[in-house]
Amino acid sequence: MTQDQPSVTDESATGLHPALVATAIALPVALVVGVLVAAVMANSTPVREPVAVGAVPAPLSESTQCADLLGALPDSFDTFSRAEMVQPAPPGAAAWQSDETTEPIVLRCGLDRPLEFDQAARLDVVDGVQWFQISGADQGLTASTWYVVDRAVYAAATIPDGTGPTPIQALSAAVTAALPQTPLDPAPIN
């Protein structure tokens, strides 16, 4: 062999450097893995749309008591965080959303006494707040509405079934902080 002729090596025999072969294999694999990871992340973090809250009769929704309660409500609890509401949102309302459930929690303040709340009504006491629960099962709903019945204004929280006790506990703390307890005023038994 003369000095002008290159020596034959494994690299020159195949024409491809081993690093080039490894890169040619690794790039498509990395691309596929990246696409799969992006797809999983896109599906696990849905875009939160504003919550539509319909208007219901709430004659005291703009009262001082409701303003106090809305000011005491938590921004988040458990897996729920405060949600933006579709405008125009009714006064005296708040909502929370979670990535773990499709239905929001909605609180309304300043409502009339619920028709079902009478002297025979069963009450639940959560952290010193008396709640009257109306199940949505009879209407085919997968949520219950809990009414605060021992304060100067009635407030109601519609809570999806299966969320556990944390939402009602967090709302009870806000009610206790914002509204003094008053005597019950149930309807007479018919």
Mean pLDDT, the chain, as a whole number? 87
Q: Is residue 92 part of a domain?
A: yes
pLDDT in tens, 45-58: 556 799 999 989 99
pLDDT in tens, 99-129: 998 999 999 999 999 999 999 999 999 999 9
Q: Is residue 16 part of a domain?
A: yes
pTM of the model: 0.75
| Look-up of token digits 């003369």 | 2
* CA–CA distance, 104 with 119 (Å, rounded to integer): 31
Query: Which domain CATH number covers 95?
Result: 3.40.1000
**Nearest partner of 121 among 36, 185, 46, judged by Cα:** 185
**In total, how many domains does the chain have?**
2
Q: Are 26 and 75 in a shared domain?
A: no
Q: 4 burial class (0-12, 13-18, 19+ CB within 10 angstroms)?
A: exposed
The predicted pLDDT at position 115 comes to: 95
Q: Are 173 and 112 in a shared domain?
A: yes
**Nearest partner of 89 among 106, 64, 73, 68, judged by Cα:** 106
- Rounded to 10 deg, the angle between the 166-178 and 64-72 helix axes is 130
Domain span holding position 132: 64-178
Q: Phi/psi of residue 169, each to 5°?
A: -70, -45
Q: Is residue 3 part of a domain?
A: no
The predicted pLDDT at position 37 comes to: 54
Q: Are 133 and 171 in a shared domain?
A: yes
